[in-house]
Structure 1
Amino acid sequence: MTDALLSYNGNQGRRDANLDTHQIKDWFSAAANPIAARPQGLAVATASIDEAEPYIVRHPQWQNWLMKPHLKPLWVSGAPGCGKSTIAHKCVEYLAKTQHSSAIVSHAFQITASTEHRRLMGLAASILSQLLPRDWVTQAQKRVFEKLVSSYNQYRLHPYDCPFEDLWDHCASLLKNETRFILVIDALDECNFDRADQFQGFLDRALDLLSSTTGRIVIFTRPCPVFGVGVTRELNDDEIRISIQDTLPEINAFCDSASAKLPIPKELQLKVANRARAGAQGSFLWASLFLRRFTNVLDKNSVMKGIDEFPDNCWGRYIEIWHNTFSEHEPQVQDNCRRILLVLLGARQKFSLEDIEDSLELLPNAALRISKACQPLVHVVDGVLQLSHASVREFLLNDDKETQTACIGISKSEPDETLAQTCLKYLLREDYAHTDRIGQRLRRNVGLGGSTEGLEQNFYNYAARNWYKHLAALSSPDPSLLKLAEQFLHATQFAYWAEYSYTDAGDFQAIRSTEIALHIWRKNLPGDDRALIRLDDYFERPYRDLSKVYREKSDDKVLQWLALMHLGFYYFDKGKMSEMAQARQEVAAGLSELLGRLNPLTLRARSDEAYTFLFSNDLRKAQRLYAEVYDDQRRVSKDDDPSLFFTLVYQGQVEYLMTNSSKALEILTSAVAGFLRTSGPESNGFLISQLWYAVADASVGHTSQAVKMMEYVREKREERYGPDDSFGMATKIFAGDLYRKLEKKEEALANIEPGLEFRRGFWSKSHFLTIDTALILAATYRDFGMNDRAEKIVDDLELHGKLEKKENYFRLCQVRHLRGLLLFEGGDVDQAITLLEALLIEYGHEDSNNRALQWVRLDLAEILRYRSREGDERLASSLFDGIVTDGGGREPDPPRWLEISEAALRLVRDGKLDAAEEFLREEKLRWTREEDLWMCLGMPAADTGWMKPPRGLGAHSSDSGWVSLAPG
């Protein structure tokens, strides 16, 4: 689950409260890429650049940068293939040996490894990885670990998605603690900045760091107009440009040494060395490609032909390899070479040889053999297959006909298309259709054991996390790929993927995030393509089918109910409340019959069933069911079982919604104490119970105190899960609504506006969570005189909110109420009256009356009296007919009863329910239907009783439902 209380897992909450620093270290280290020796990729290239020290450290500009304080980074630029990365590595080694600094920190952007290695976040990860030990030593390190908890929880599965900006402050604080740190950054030109201003933001942060420390930063890059490096006529004072003359001695030494190791006669070695010296023109890459040409020659003619005909540049050699060398291989080898290159071009992480073999269904050791056929375009580093140089990627994806490589035929979309297809085919393997495997995961995910060790092979994790990302990157995919995706979305294997994703993420959000991404992508497909892939029964059909299979064919009869249990979770998150109720009632009945009503799993199902009655507003039934569940849990559960305290939270919610606030506070106090005793003050259970205690506390007038409690809950959730945590966001909206009541405009909008943006990004506009938040924001805008903004929200709700659905009936009344007030305040008095009268005529009778309509009555009565036409006063009074009774059933109510009804409702609207009850007792009357005053469940639900009265009709005093703040 991703919202409300159903997302909580007791054990997970305990783990989060005591998070292991090793987990955080492993998380960001997975994205780190410190500068390392670049593989030579050539058997002959055993010579290295000057072992003693790189030539650049003797450069005057380098010496000046190293010895004197510098408020700007030093830029080192050079053409592709000139050895920048090797120089960067040698500089790191040299600086470490000479002990110029207490901390030499480095990072290499590396497009050849994967597309994710281009992200700016990797730089922050490298800094953290090199400066934070697995176990903190200093208090400063401990503080950084604590601050990283929220980013870890939010981006645990996808570290590269963590924004660089979220991590930089932690990096800066660690660097500031180091004496004269030196940060070495390689290949910044290969960084894929997420937005246009991100480079400038990074540079500003680097400058701020240098201005407050004695550290140094050096950046290696190709000439780049965006950076303003290597492209100006005049050399900048913070720049070194690597020229042909600079590298000439080292390239000559490299050519001589490598040539001397070739398996050819001495005189030919000299000819090769001379040609290499003459043709390199400052490029180690070209020299390496040239020298490799002679590793397997068999005769003198081949040597001379290689010397005479070898292309003058690297791309020319790539073209020659593509059209000549590849064509020498068998068609099967050629096909696999192309597939491997496409996979490497689109890969979102490093692929081992085993990953390649597993994903492409190759035989053992086949990937290594095929990779040799792809050389020198690829190479193997520590068992990882990757492109040999950034220029290879540019060559393969280049579509400029003037460069004569268009005939390669690789489009920019083909890597994603290949990987989408590869991932989907992998996920659809028959192994993952076995219902016993899915059953093990179902049991694991509901806490019933079930081993999941060794259920997946190497590539499954990548396929599970990335299939939809590669698919959604395609604007016009091939119809066969769409059909493959359609097949997966409705296959049994989908359920295996969903259960795997649930385990992987620890909650339901990964599954729903995928659905949302697919909906956004599908919406932008051409019409014919959209017809090939259906999402209307996403998750639902595979799980219905799976439950049926278990019912008919499995000896384990629990599994059919576990599949439906997760389907019920999905329906809740999707906002399909009727379907959720049906599924949960089926599960509760089925498990009660199969396992007995006291079985822990049955108790959980019965609790889930009771929750459905909160949504249908059958609160008496929910009240009875939760009381039964709690009594049964106490009989079979231990005193520290969190399920006990969660049931108390549910019970407290029921009493709050039934306006029994004092009883709700009593129950919630027990829940808070239980979680505090067993899980601690920062556990999820404690925070959830604390939130609902604050909600109930606000309903008895302790608004300021409630806001403080909510801010504590929000702060703790944000520390742990970041600003986009769905429960934390719900808490912000709760607090924002209270700030509105306290007439604090800035605080109210700062909490509610981001809440609506967040929820619209995750749920549809017709989801109850989105509707409630939109209503709260519209009411807030109106209360603070921003009626034009309120009208836009009401327009949108009427157009997209699907208010005609049965479960949205209560919210329909609220939207119409708001529309009526906006019409009145816009000068359309008659139209406002007509609209609100029609609402009461249609819905205001006994079988459909509700709390929202009571506030419509109060405001419509004020508007009628304001208009004051003949009959308006009588009509205003008649609105309160049938609200109270003495039990005798007289009709219509006498005028005195109408006055009492209106006065009593105003007391309730002001939060004075006890006073209203006492008033009615004195008059020997009671509410005709108590449930007409009950609240609607939400996170939070909008309460239009809290709105300011129609503008111009009465002061905004305590009688208006607003809090009056005492001076000071």
Structure 2
Amino acid sequence: MVLAGTQPGIIRTDLLSHLNYDSDILRKITDEARARLENMTVVSFYETEPTPPLSGLIVDRTSAIMNIDHEDVIPLWENHRDMCRFSGETESCKQVCRALRRITYQPQNVKRKPVRTSTHSSEMKLSDIEKLCMAHFNMVNLTDYKRRLPKPIEGTCQWIRAHPLFVSWFEEAKSTLLWLTGYPGCGKTMLSYSMERQLEETSQNILIYFCDNKISMQKDAKAILIGLIAQLVHRHRAMVRYIGRVFEVQGMSMLSSFSALWSVFERIIKDLKSSTLYVIIDALDECEGSSCYDLLNSIHELISASSSSAGSGRHVKFLLTSRPTLGQEKVAIPLHGHQLAIDEGQPGHGEDLRVFIQVKVNEITSRRGCSEETKDFLLQALLSRAEQTFLWVHMVLASLERSSLASINDFQDIIAKLPRDLEATYLNFLSALPSHHQDSAWQLLRLLLASSRTLLLDEVNIAFTIQPFHESSGDVLRDCQPAIHQTVLGVLGPLIFFWSKTVTNPLVIYMTLIRECLL
């Protein structure tokens, strides 16, 4: 076979000009392809890793996608060479398989809107506005942020799918909320990431946002809405018109207006053709206070309005994660029946922690060539002291990884010295206590640390309240806190844990870790 243009005298130099950036010919070909694909299900994958020895992408996201209605756009953590040939059942391979399953089960009688292909000058002006909008709505690269997150161990984070609260949230034919709470280091973010992957098995309409108070662009409700809207428009390109309409009036100021952004978000989700949209917002407690309350109250209003207008056919299911204290503070959302504490005695969470410890210990001891005796020692040491938190385990593993010595005696020494690291961790929590809570915090800490056993909340309430001027038990009871559970949480937060023991007195406080650190 002889390729056209390889014979002397017939080189097609005109073809080279057609390959220029943003050429008219390429735009025409693309528009024609979009018109042909308007009634087909399209899934576009794009590379996120440079292909060695190059330092950049060969085909970036903009060039890889079609920008058509109903297109599902999925990043693969692969380079240009490897993104279409997998070594086995890798995560990228599983993403492609999930997409194929969605296409297989998707109804074929969905009518699609015609794609606008005209290049008339009056429409080119709107296109320019849309491009400007999208440039501003892509301020945070959540794809890169997600790639840096720790990934769940294979087989973990599955327990929640059978939990009654999750089943009810997933199956209810209405807009609703599920709020997962847990203290720092208990695995909330890994659970959020896993929930996104699990929901992708049955739906492509999943939005996820990770709050992070260490990143200025990810720590208020306006940033959350910008991130959610950007994801919606990437998947449903025609929805950019709702941004353009507001942007034409308000300009850049819309990015600093919560009400303007929420209005755009509501208009887009009302125009979606799918019946259910899933929205996952992780670490909401790291969202700035006043804007966080604006977001929560807006979610509450949306859910309430949806419940009162049954039959609309469109539902938004919110899954939030945060520390327990956020749900106690000035939030209009009624949390009864919607809040799940993942680290308060959930059997599945404890099993996930055990699996995590086992896998990580196997990895460390295998790399170091440790004996079975050393491996058994580490397993027992970590399992017996983990106290339902991944935070402590992460600290231990980091210390073990840093050590250049790996005998059983060396590991024993490292673990024996760990309280000093834990002390630093909890002292950071103590230093961050609000000044108006410090006296109450020290009073509670002295009370809990001096106790020879775990205390019931009623006992804590009385001991915290009683003063020399009280003359009778009635005086003490009259001055007790009406909601001691919320009081202790609000004052001490992650320094304490609650545990269910009995039906009649369901909550007791234990402080095993911090007791070891502060005494």
CA shift digits 1:610-654 (9 cap, x unpaired): xxxxxxxxxxxxxxxxxxxxxxxxxxxxxxxxxxxxxxxxxxxxx
Q: CA deviation at 1:33?
A: 4.2
Q: CA deviation at 1:247?
A: 1.3
CA shift digits 1:254-307 (9 cap, x unpaired): 111111122243322221221111111111121111111111242534311112
Matched, 1:273 2:273: no
Assess if the C-alpha contact under 8 Å between 1:56 and 1:62 holds in 2.
Answer: yes
Whole-Å Cα distance in 1 between the matches of residues 173 and 353 of structure 2? 33
Matched, 1:80 2:176: no
Match for 1:241 among 341, 346, 370?
341
1:809-820 maps to which residues of 2 (within 5 A)? none
- Residue 165 of structure 1 aligns with which residue? 259
Match for 1:253 among 351, 355, 378?
355
Q: CA deviation at 1:318?
A: 3.6
- Residue 153 of structure 2 aligns with which residue? 49
Distance change in 2, residues 1:266/1:317 (3 Å): farther
Structure 1 gap ranges (5+): 1-14, 41-46, 321-391, 405-968
Assess if the C-alpha contact under 8 Å between 1:37 and 1:89 holds in 2.
Answer: no
- Residue 230 of structure 2 aligns with which residue? 129
Match for 2:220 among 109, 119, 123?
119
Q: TM-score, normalised by structure 2?
A: 0.50
Whole-Å Cα distance in 2 between the matches of residues 187 and 206 of structure 1? 21
- Residue 253 of structure 2 aligns with which residue? 154
Give the secondary-structure state (helix, strand or coil) at the position aligned to 1:111.
Answer: coil
Assess if the C-alpha contact under 8 Å between 2:353 and 2:390 holds in 1.
Answer: yes
- Residue 39 of structure 1 aligns with which residue? 149
- Residue 186 of structure 1 aligns with which residue? 282
- Residue 309 of structure 1 aligns with which residue? 417
- Residue 298 of structure 1 aligns with which residue? 405
Assess if the C-alpha contact under 8 Å between 2:133 and 2:247 holds in 1.
Answer: yes
Larger RCO (alpha carbons 8 Å, 6+ apart)? 2
Whole-Å Cα distance in 2 between the matches of residues 180 and 133 of structure 1? 18
Please tell me the residue identity of whatever aligns with 1:168: W
Whole-Å Cα distance in 1 between the matches of residues 189 and 208 of structure 2? 12
Match for 2:269 among 154, 171, 175?
175
Matched, 1:65 2:175: no
Matched, 1:217 2:318: yes
Q: CA deviation at 1:199?
A: 5.0
Q: CA deviation at 1:167?
A: 0.7
Distance change in 2, residues 1:261/1:197 (3 Å): closer
Please tell me the residue identity of whatever aligns with 1:36: K
Whole-Å Cα distance in 1 between the matches of residues 422 and 341 of structure 2? 23
Whole-Å Cα distance in 2 between the matches of residues 38 and 227 of structure 1? 31
Give the secondary-structure state (helix, strand or coil) at the position aligned to 1:273.
Answer: helix
Structure 2 gap ranges (5+): 1-123, 443-519
Give the secondary-structure state (helix, strand or coil) at the position aligned to 1:80.
Answer: coil
Structure 1 or 2, whichever has the larger Rg, is: 1
Assess if the C-alpha contact under 8 Å between 1:183 and 1:216 holds in 2.
Answer: yes
Please tell me the residue identity of whatever aligns with 1:221: S
Assess if the C-alpha contact under 8 Å between 1:105 and 1:183 holds in 2.
Answer: yes
Whole-Å Cα distance in 2 between the matches of residues 194 and 399 of structure 1? 17
Give the secondary-structure state (helix, strand or coil) at the position aligned to 2:200.
Answer: helix
Q: CA deviation at 1:236?
A: 2.2
Q: CA deviation at 1:152?
A: 4.3
Q: CA deviation at 1:90?
A: 0.2
CA shift digits 1:106-161 (9 cap, x unpaired): 1111113x234211012211221111139x753x5424433234454336xxx5xx
Whole-Å Cα distance in 2 between the matches of residues 281 and 38 of structure 1? 26
Whole-Å Cα distance in 2 between the matches of residues 278 and 127 of structure 1? 41
Assess if the C-alpha contact under 8 Å between 2:225 and 2:262 holds in 1.
Answer: yes
Count of residue pairs the alignment pairs up: 299
Q: TM-score, normalised by structure 1?
A: 0.28
1:649-660 maps to which residues of 2 (within 5 A)? none
Give the secondary-structure state (helix, strand or coil) at the position aligned to 1:185.
Answer: strand
Matched, 1:283 2:382: no
Give the secondary-structure state (helix, strand or coil) at the position aligned to 2:349.
Answer: helix
Assess if the C-alpha contact under 8 Å between 1:183 and 1:217 holds in 2.
Answer: yes
- Residue 505 of structure 1 aligns with which residue? none
1:805-884 maps to which residues of 2 (within 5 A)? none
Whole-Å Cα distance in 2 between the matches of residues 222 and 278 of structure 1? 24
Q: CA deviation at 1:207?
A: 2.2
Please tell me the residue identity of whatever aligns with 2:178: L
Percent identity over paired residues = 16
Whole-Å Cα distance in 2 between the matches of residues 249 and 258 of structure 1? 14
Please tell me the residue identity of whatever aligns with 1:26: A
Assess if the C-alpha contact under 8 Å between 1:229 and 1:239 holds in 2.
Answer: no
Give the secondary-structure state (helix, strand or coil) at the position aligned to 1:132.
Answer: helix
Matched, 1:110 2:212: yes
Please tell me the residue identity of whatever aligns with 1:147: V
Assess if the C-alpha contact under 8 Å between 2:386 and 2:392 holds in 1.
Answer: yes
Q: CA deviation at 1:186?
A: 1.0
Assess if the C-alpha contact under 8 Å between 2:242 and 2:268 holds in 1.
Answer: no
Please tell me the residue identity of whatever aligns with 2:146: A
Whole-Å Cα distance in 2 between the matches of residues 38 and 196 of structure 1? 25
Whole-Å Cα distance in 2 between the matches of residues 229 and 62 of structure 1? 25
Please tell me the residue identity of whatever aligns with 1:288: H
Assess if the C-alpha contact under 8 Å between 1:294 and 1:306 holds in 2.
Answer: yes
Distance change in 2, residues 1:149/1:50 (3 Å): farther
Please tell me the residue identity of whatever aligns with 2:208: S
Assess if the C-alpha contact under 8 Å between 2:178 and 2:339 holds in 1.
Answer: yes
Please tell me the residue identity of whatever aligns with 2:363: K
Distance change in 2, residues 1:299/1:103 (3 Å): closer
Whole-Å Cα distance in 2 between the matches of residues 70 and 171 of structure 1? 18
Assess if the C-alpha contact under 8 Å between 1:260 and 1:266 holds in 2.
Answer: no
Assess if the C-alpha contact under 8 Å between 2:242 and 2:264 holds in 1.
Answer: no
Assess if the C-alpha contact under 8 Å between 1:193 and 1:199 holds in 2.
Answer: no
Q: CA deviation at 1:397?
A: 5.3
